[in-house]
């Protein structure tokens, strides 16, 4: 079957469902012939025939309620019932239960076509955008495990083999983590009574920060979980054990982590590359430029300026990036920071003397210790060194007191 036969068959079927105007069909055909992107938009029926054959390796993914005819021009903004400005998918006339990969492949295909035809502008100044990582989004994902029952060790191992894991043995510990950092999913293990599980799900469903997060519950009475499926669209429940829970839960976490990756990329693009798409902190070049400006400003105005260096024993790139993402949420609006190649982090506190900088740095180090990822069976302690701007200081002398020598720029 070629495209003409597919189109004729689709239009014959469509005429049986709704009245069609031949003039409108003729206009649609002319638009389809105008360019590749318009052709893609208008031929989801043909995509549905070819995608399972051409992308067979992606069709075994878990099936979800999919948009179906998804492309980059299917997104827009509107006001919800509470008056908030919302951005998202705004065309659902061809939704269907499909492997979740269908929407991702079609959206990515449309984006490539839109860029080629200048429908999607990635930069207003002609520079190349940051490269989106090609690794599995699960490599960047972090999951919060809440539990204290006999399955907690097995859940920890099974989840920890797939994603970054933060454990919380109490509701209070979980709350501290959720308030301090971003995560890509929540697992409620055993060891809690129905009332606590219900209270947790109520908080997640009512708080806009958490209601779209993937949430999985191990066990739990169905009658307790059932009322929350509407308020928590990514809620999963299983009584089949840790391995089955993780197997069903990972696709949700992967999609959320991919979305976070895209958000960081868009933030970097909006800032014309001055923001690091991995961490949300300043990119290296932007940091050193802003530090030179801040030092000059502090000297001219006679105000304080301090700098802290956070370093981590046993930290690799993954843990350092995670620490930087946590720190980005803790910085004051007037401060700025960046992650260095040696996995340390510089944070500059403007209009701040050494005493106040000590208070701020201790608070940041405490939050990092309790909420960032850590190597297995090890606790990360942030080693903090501080320096404050003195008379006749310059950037190099200030940095030298923090690290012993100025790092390569």
SS (HEC) of the chain: CCHHHHHHHHHHHHHHHCCCCHHHHHHHHHHHHHCHHHHHHHCHHHHHHHHHHHCHHHCCCCEEEECCCCCHHHEEEEECCCCCEEEEECCCCCCEEEECHHHHHHHHHHHHHHHHCCCCCCCCCCCCCCCCCCCCHHHCCEEEEECCCCCHHHHHHHHHCCCEEEEECCHHHHHHHHHHCCCCEEEECCCCCHHHHHHHHHHHHHCCCCCCCCEEEECCCHHHHHHHCCCCCCEEEECCCHHHHHHHHHHHHHHHHHHHHHHHHHHHHHCCCCECCCCCCECHHHHHHHHHHHHHHHHHHCCCEEEEEEEECCCCHHHHHHHHHHHHHHCCCCCEEEECCCCCEEEEEECCCHHHHHHHHHHHHHHHHHHCCCCCCCCCCEEEEEEECCCCCCHHHHHHHHHCCCCCC
| 150 & 197 share domain | yes
| 31 & 111 share domain | yes
**pLDDT score of 344 more than 50:** yes
Residue 243 domain boundaries: 137-266
Q: What is the pLDDT of residue 324?
A: 94
Confidence of residue 408 (pLDDT cuts 50, 70, 90): very low
| 75 & 95 share domain | yes
Mean local confidence (pLDDT), 358-364: 94
The pLDDT tens digits of the residues spanning 101-150 come to: 999 999 999 988 888 887 766 554 555 556 667 788 999 899 999 998 88
| 61 & 162 share domain | no
| 225 & 298 share domain | no
Residue 122 maps to a domain: no
| 141 & 253 share domain | yes
| 344 & 367 share domain | yes
Mean local confidence (pLDDT), 214-220: 88
Nearest to 184 by CA among 215, 228, 218, 155: 215
| 239 & 192 share domain | yes
pTM: 0.68
Q: Point out the domain boundary residue: 266, 292, 314.
A: 266
Residue 245 maps to a domain: yes
Percent of the chain past pLDDT 70, that is, above it, reads: 93
Residue 333 maps to a domain: yes
Residue 408 maps to a domain: no
**pLDDT score of 409 more than 70:** no
Residue 127 maps to a domain: no
Residue 131 maps to a domain: no
Confidence of residue 285 (pLDDT cuts 50, 70, 90): very high
Residue 65 maps to a domain: yes
| 84 & 145 share domain | no
**pLDDT score of 191 more than 90:** no
| 192 & 84 share domain | no
Residue 125 maps to a domain: no
Mean local confidence (pLDDT), 319-342: 92
The pLDDT tens digits of the residues spanning 247-274 come to: 999 999 999 999 888 888 888 887 888 9
| 279 & 321 share domain | yes
Confidence of residue 78 (pLDDT cuts 50, 70, 90): confident
Q: Point out the domain boundary residue: 66, 87, 116.
A: 116
- Specify the number of domains making up the chain: 3
**pLDDT score of 405 more than 60:** no
For residue 348, the domain's CATH number is 3.30.70.270
For residue 235, the domain's CATH number is 3.40.50.2300
Q: Which of 243-247, 315-319, 364-368 has the lowest mean pLDDT?
A: 315-319
Q: Point out the domain boundary residue: 266, 286, 303.
A: 266
Q: Which of 119-133, 300-314, 377-391 has the lowest mean pLDDT?
A: 119-133
| 171 & 255 share domain | yes
């Amino acid at each position: 079957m070629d495209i003409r036969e597919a189109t004729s068959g689709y239009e014959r079927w469509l005429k049986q469902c709704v009245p069609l105007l031949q003039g409108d069909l003729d206009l649609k055909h002319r638009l389809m012939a105008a360019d590749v992107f318009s052709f893609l938009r208008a031929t989801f029926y043909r995509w549905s025939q070819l995608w399972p054959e051409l992308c067979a390796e992606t069709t075994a993914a878990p099936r979800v309620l999919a948009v179906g005819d998804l492309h980059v021009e299917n997104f827009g903004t509107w006001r919800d019932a509470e008056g908030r400005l919302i951005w998202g998918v705004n065309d659902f006339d061809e939704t269907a239960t499909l492997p979740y990969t269908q929407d991702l492949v079609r959206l990515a295909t449309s984006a490539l076509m839109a860029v080629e035809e200048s429908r999607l502008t990635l930069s207003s100044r002609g520079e190349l955008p940051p490269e989106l990582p090609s690794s599995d989004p699960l490599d960047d994902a972090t999951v919060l495990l809440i539990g204290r029952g006999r399955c907690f060790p097995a859940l920890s191992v099974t989840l920890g083999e797939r994603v970054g894991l933060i454990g919380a043995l109490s509701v209070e510990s979980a709350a501290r983590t959720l308030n301090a950092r971003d995560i890509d999913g929540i697992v409620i293990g055993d060891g809690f009574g129905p009332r606590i599980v219900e209270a947790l799900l109520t908080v997640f469903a009512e708080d806009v920060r958490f209601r779209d997060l993937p949430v999985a519950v191990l066990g739990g009475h169905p009658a307790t979980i059932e009322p929350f499926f509407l308020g928590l669209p990514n809620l999963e429940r299983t009584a089949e054990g840790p391995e089955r829970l993780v197997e069903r839960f990972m696709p949700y976490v992967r999609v959320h982590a991919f979305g976070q990756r895209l958000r960081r990329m868009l933030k970097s693009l909006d800032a014309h590359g001055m923001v690091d798409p991995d961490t949300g902190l300043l990119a290296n070049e932007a940091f050193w430029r802003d530090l030179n400006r801040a030092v000059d400003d502090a000297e001219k105005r006679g105000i304080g300026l301090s700098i802290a260096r956070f370093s981590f024993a046993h930290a690799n790139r993954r843990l350092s990036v995670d620490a930087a993402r946590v720190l980005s949420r803790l910085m004051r609006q007037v401060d700025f920071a960046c992650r260095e190649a040696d996995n340390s982090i510089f944070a500059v506190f403007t209009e701040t003397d050494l005493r106040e900088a000590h208070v701020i740095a201790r608070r940041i180090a405490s939050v990092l210790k309790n909420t960032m990822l850590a190597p297995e069976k090890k606790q990360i302690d942030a080693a903090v060194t501080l320096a404050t701007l003195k008379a006749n200081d310059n950037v190099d002398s200030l940095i030298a007191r923090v690290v012993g020598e100025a790092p390569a720029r």
